[in-house]
Amino acid sequence: MNRKSILCVVLAAGLATPPRGFAASHREAPITALDHKADITDFYAFVSYDDPSKVTFLLNVDPLLEPGNGPTYFPFDDTIQYAIRIDNNNDAQEDVYFLFQFQTEVRAPNVFTAFVGAGAGINAPANSPAPVPPGTPIVPPAVTALDGSGSEGLNLRQRFTVTMVKNGVSTPLTNQAGAPLFAVPSNVGPRTMPNYPALAAQGVYSLGNGMRVFAGTVDDPFYIDLGAAFDSLNFRVGAGGGVLSPAQDADDHTNTAPDFVSGYNVNTIAIEVPIALLTSTGTRVAATDPAATIGAWGTTARPRTLVRRAPLPAASSGSFAQVQRMANPLINELIIGVGYKDYWSMTQPKDDSQFANFDLDPLLARVLNAVYGINVPAAPRTDLLPLVTYAPPIAAPGTPAGPVADLLRLNTGVAPTAAASRRRLGLLAGDAAGFPNGRRVSDDVTDIAARAVAGVFNPAFNVAPNNRIGDGVNTNDVPYQETFPYVAFAQSGRDRRHADPGEAGCTMNSGAACPIN
Amino acid sequence: MHYEFGGGLSYQLTGRSLTRTVLWGMLAAALLGATQPTSWQAYNELAGTLCRKGRDTGDTAWYDQAGAALRKSLELSPGNYDARKLQVTVLLGRHEFKEALRAAVELNHKMPDDIAGWGLLVDANLALGNDAEAERDAQWILDLRPGSKLGFVKAAAVRERFGDTEGAMEFLDEARRRTSPNDLDEQAWLLKENARLAGAK
């Protein structure tokens, strides 16, 4: 369900490719289809809603986590190196990056589930069979803390480390409170975790220098009518069949199609960083300053097997092999050919010129043209350059364009949009703080990406139906937070709800039923 | 055994010269060819089996026969990718290394996710003495498909070139563990290679 996916379906439908193509959505490349833990579902970068002096990055991995799927739920992979990388001088190479690595501890090896607890704890009753005497603690107290008292039921617990590398200097970032950094476990349910929001909030740590971090399982902030998209673009008639009515398009708070990601969780790594630590000038500058725009991307990497063994000299570049990278929510899925996807995932953004033909003459646009008969711009698609170079309207005029590279570009000088004025269509709707100027959790990248490929960045093509393409899912199933980490905390394993077609409560679990047809 | 494949291709083989996998491969290709005389896939199957025979025996005549089968395949389906890959194998078998490298590079650009294409690059570069390039290409296989048999086989060849005999044997063992026990030819070839390296130590 990588938001990269919907138009992949268009492609698949248009070219009558076999169903295998449909499976390449949130597992868009063959290698990540085999490696869920390393699969980046989404990458976000935006100026913090409540602090315009900082940028928040979110790296989401491990797609479609069913909240009730115990007993071990969804730990991060200790062997994966997760990274968030930032270019600040327009060369598409990292100048600042953050590395995250996890370490799992099993605190009660004989207990059959990762998380357990109830009330003040449950002891063996009077009729307890020998040899366990009555009064022996059997079930620990409910989980109310990540560490210390109240954390006894966290049988499986993960610590993590954060390292900032800036200009080649590596700096471990530690919890300013002195304790280890703990990942927030999934929300098992109200008996085990009676106040989950309070528990999860303990996972927000200050790293000093104005930085904060959070890692753990959260509600998947993405939303899409995945089933309709995968059914060869069989979008609901109730949602305009793929082209929204003006009223539907204007309503950012009502779904007219089911959100197939509703009720699912995802693992996130969130870090909030002062802008001054990110820009090349070391300061926060105005949006009109070329230094204001950064480019960011996320990566996952695994230890690699090297051709050369120690002590022979290692000619290879490092001890990790990149499994995946992600910046914009559409490039690998919608643009890159299937014979190149793994190779693309493992290469570096600075080398993306080798994929320029894909970027600037996307086959998908031709499929849209062929299938729907809509007019699309001719190649080369210079209207798409803001997605793959530093260019207006995201970057200030005069910003060096840099090489063609898939980076999520964010003008850090653009102030965040207040919640009441925030638009799901971001920049397309005049909300300058939204995708493709960075990406917020609420941005409807499915609709934006589809319209971008249809050419709406070019005024001549910013017309109906190109500029009303949409799936009818306009908002998430649960409210986001307005403070770090901005995503909603994890959905309850016991009480989660997936909003299916025909069920009442299509919008935020209330209101009218989701249409079946 | 006189073997008629159709399309003007025939082979005189003795049963003793055929290992089980090769025999089955050729029979399968023959069946496919008999029932689907216009099947370019059948000619590719046959060519692949003949190339394997060439690898196992070191007899370049097998590659010549494979080349003939590939010409039929390409007549039926011009430019088909599998046949073009096998053509590189044939070129390598005939020791036409420069042409093999040129063709392998072209194929790699066409489909960089295909580790078999990277494997052909390793072979060609090793043959031409381009050791650094061979190492780079073998590393790509190990990175693209961690734990793949092909990656271990190709990286073993590079390790051997670098004088790391023990390391090469380690990788060949890894490759053998990833080979079906029913694939006796491949099992045997990997054991033979390992024995050769052990003898060279």
> Could you tell me the residue range of the domain that residue B76 belongs to?
1-95
Whether residues B74 and B120 fall in one domain: no
Q: How many domains does one find in chain B?
A: 2
CB atoms closer than 10 angstroms to residue A73? 22
Helix B61-76 / helix B81-93 crossing angle, nearest 10 deg:
160
Query: Per-residue DSSP letters for A141-155?
Result: PP---SSSTT-TTB-
Is A320 touching B (CB cutoff 8 A)? no
Is B142 touching A (CB cutoff 8 A)? yes
Of B114, B139, B151, the CB nearest to A316: B139
Residue A278 CA: distances (Å) to CA of A86, A170, A433: 7, 15, 18
Is B135 touching A (CB cutoff 8 A)? yes
Q: What is the mean pLDDT of chain B?
A: 87
Of the ranges A237-246, B111-120, B174-183, the best mean pLDDT one: B111-120
Is A315 touching B (CB cutoff 8 A)? yes
Backbone phi, psi, residue A9, to 5°: -70, -40
Is residue A365 situated within a structural domain? yes
Is A33 touching B (CB cutoff 8 A)? no
Q: How far is A347 from chain B, CA to nearest CA, in Å? A: 10
Instruction: With CB atoms and an 8 Å threshold, state whether B146 touches A304.
Output: yes
Whether residues B90 and B122 fall in one domain: no
Residue A495 is given by DSSP the state T
Q: How many domains does one find in chain A?
A: 1
Find the closest chain A residue to B145 by CA distance. Answer: A31
Q: How confident is the model at residue B150 (pLDDT cuts 50, 70, 90)?
A: very high
Whether residues B68 and B149 fall in one domain: no
- Whole-structure pTM value: 0.88
pLDDT, tens digit (0-9, with 9 covering 90-100), for B95-146: 999 999 999 999 999 999 999 999 999 999 999 999 999 999 999 999 998 8
Is residue A515 situated within a structural domain? no
Token pair in block for residue B31: 């069946």
Of A308, A309, A343, the CB nearest to B113: A343
Residue ending a domain, among B95, B119, B144, is: B95
How would you class A66 by CB atoms within 10 Å of its CB: exposed for 0-12, middle for 13-18, buried for 19 or more?
Answer: middle
Instruction: With CB atoms and an 8 Å threshold, state whether A341 touches B147.
Output: no
Is residue A483 situated within a structural domain? no
pLDDT, tens digit (0-9, with 9 covering 90-100), for A342-352: 999 999 999 99
CATH number, domain with residue B119: 1.25.40.10
Find the closest chain A residue to B136 by CA distance. Answer: A316
Residue A439 is given by DSSP the state B
Whether residues B105 and B189 fall in one domain: yes
Instruction: With CB atoms and an 8 Å threshold, state whether A339 touches B162.
Output: no
Whether residues B147 and B90 fall in one domain: no
Whether residues B79 and B20 fall in one domain: yes
Look at A341 and A277; give whichever has higher pLDDT: A277
Q: A468 by DSSP, 3-state: which?
A: helix
In chain B, what residues touch A30 (CB-CB under 8 Å)? 113
Whether residues B39 and B106 fall in one domain: no
Is B158 touching A (CB cutoff 8 A)? yes
Token pair in block for residue A375: 């007019």
Find the closest chain A residue to B135 by CA distance. Answer: A307
Q: Is the pLDDT of residue B30 over 90?
A: no
Give Cβ neighbours of residue B194 (< 8 Å, ≥ 6 apart).
B169, B172, B173, B176
Residue ending a domain, among B43, B78, B95, is: B95
How would you class A108 by CB atoms within 10 Å of its CB: exposed for 0-12, middle for 13-18, buried for 19 or more?
Answer: middle
Is residue A88 situated within a structural domain? yes
Whether residues B101 and B198 fall in one domain: yes
Distance CA A191, CA B44 (A): 62
Question: Does A362 sit behind a cis peptide bond, omega within 30 degrees of 0 on the bond before it?
Answer: no
The pLDDT of A302-314, averaged and rounded, is 74
In chain A, what residues touch B113 (CB-CB under 8 Å)? 29-30, 338-343
Distance CA B160, CA B175 (A): 15
The pLDDT of B71-81, averaged and rounded, is 94
Q: How confident is the model at residue A6 (pLDDT cuts 50, 70, 90)?
A: very low
Whether residues B81 and B110 fall in one domain: no
In chain B, what residues touch A341 (CB-CB under 8 Å)? 113
The pairing of beta strand A265-274 with beta strand A54-65: antiparallel
CATH number, domain with residue B44: 1.25.40
Residue ending a domain, among B50, B71, B95, is: B95
pLDDT, tens digit (0-9, with 9 covering 90-100), for A126-145: 999 999 999 999 999 999 99
Token pair in block for residue A459: 């005024």
Q: What is the pLDDT of residue B24?
A: 62
Whether residues B101 and B81 fall in one domain: no
Of A309, A312, A339, the CB nearest to B111: A339
Instruction: With CB atoms and an 8 Å threshold, state whether A321 touches B132.
Output: no
pLDDT, tens digit (0-9, with 9 covering 90-100), for A197-228: 999 999 999 999 999 999 999 999 999 998 88
Whether residues B47 and B115 fall in one domain: no
Given the structure tokens 């990458």, which residue do they identify?
Answer: A43
> Could you tell me the residue range of the domain that residue A426 belongs to?
6-115+154-468
Is residue A61 situated within a structural domain? yes
Given the structure tokens 């050791």, which residue do they identify?
Answer: B131
Instruction: With CB atoms and an 8 Å threshold, state whether B112 touches A31.
Output: no
3-state DSSP of chain B: CEEEEECCEEEECCHHHCCHHHHHHHHHHHHHHHHCCCCHHHHHHHHHHHHHHHHHHCCCHHHHHHHHHHHHHHHHCCCCHHHHHHHHHHHHHCCCHHHHHHHHHHHHHHCCCCHHHHHHHHHHHHHCCCHHHHHHHHHHHHHHCCCCHHHHHHHHHHHHHCCCHHHHHHHHHHHHHCCCCCCHHHHHHHHHHHHHHHHHC
Token pair in block for residue A391: 């260019």
Is B6 touching A (CB cutoff 8 A)? no
Q: Is the pLDDT of residue B38 over 80?
A: no
Distance CA B115, CA A443 (A): 37
Q: How confident is the model at residue A311 (pLDDT cuts 50, 70, 90)?
A: low
Task: Say which amino acid occupies A201.
Answer: A
Is residue A494 situated within a structural domain? no
Whether residues B107 and B197 fall in one domain: yes
Q: How far is B119 from chain A, CA to nearest CA, in Å? A: 13
